[in-house]
Structure 1
Amino acid sequence: MNTREIVDTYYRLANSGDWDPWCDLFAVDQTMDEQLAGHVEGRETLRDMMKGFPQMYASFANVPVHIVVEGDQAAVVSHISARTPKGESVEADVCNYFRIADGLIVYMTNVHDTVPFAPVTGGA
């Protein structure tokens, strides 16, 4: 897959809740700087982390609004709409940056306001 196909697949799998194949998009030694979860190293660490994701959200959608691809890098502005099992809503604009090597995501970071995620994180 090329960079655009990987990015498109990332969002398609996330929005369908297919977390194992989503994790397979990442290199074994991937590095992620995730706004809420912090620094995550390794695909299997990410896979273990994602096992709890379905318990955090009753529904989850991360819809790309604008995608820029240049070679092995991509930046995506997207909007998250989610609902917790208690019915609390999460609405947040996000920017993700991806770096791809050998058809896998080797680095990803996301940036967003953390306040909308308070129902999930327990923050104020």
Structure 2
Amino acid sequence: MDARTVLDRYYEYANAADWDRWCDLFAPDMVMDEQLAGHIEGREKLRQMMGGMGQMYAAFHNEPLHVLIDGAQGAVVSRITATSAAGRPVRAQVMNYFTILHGQITYMANFHDTVPFQVLSQD
């Protein structure tokens, strides 16, 4: 799978709340620097964390606005539009950076304003 297909599926699976298939896009020894969750190593640890997404959000949509790919690297500017489990809106602009090798995400980092996500701690 090429980098563009991996990134397209990343957003497709996230927007379908298909977190198992979303996690399968990552290499078993993946590394992620996630602004809210911190440093994550290993696909199975990521899969355990993502199991709680359905409890955190009543609705979740991450729309890619700009996609740039250069070989094994990709960057995506996106917009998250979500609703917390208690019905509070979450809106954020996001920048994700990816390294994709052999059809799997080996590294990912994301950058966004953390303030919109504070409503999750109030639920």
Q: Encode CA deviations 1:53-107: one digit per residue, 9 max, x unaligned.
A: 1000000000000000111110000000000121100000000000011110000
The question of 1:50 aligning with 2:50 is answered: yes
Find the counterpart in structure 1 of residue 94 from structure 2.
Answer: 94
Find the counterpart in structure 2 of residue 8 from structure 1.
Answer: 8
Q: How far apart are residue 121 of structure 1 and its match?
A: 3.3
RMSD between superposed Cα atoms in Å: 0.6
Matches within 5 A, 1:12-91: 12-91=12-91
Question: How many residue pairs get matched?
Answer: 122
Letter in 2 for 1:87: G
Please give the secondary structure, in 2, of the residue aligned with 1:58: strand
**Identity over the aligned pairs, expressed in percent?**
57
CA distance in 1, matches of 2:72, 2:38: 24
4+ aligned runs moved over 6 Å, structure 1 = none
Find the counterpart in structure 1 of residue 113 from structure 2.
Answer: 113
Which ranges of structure 1 fall in alignment gaps of 5 or more residues?
none
CA distance in 2, matches of 1:69, 1:101: 13
TM-score (norm 1): 0.97
TM-score (norm 2): 0.97
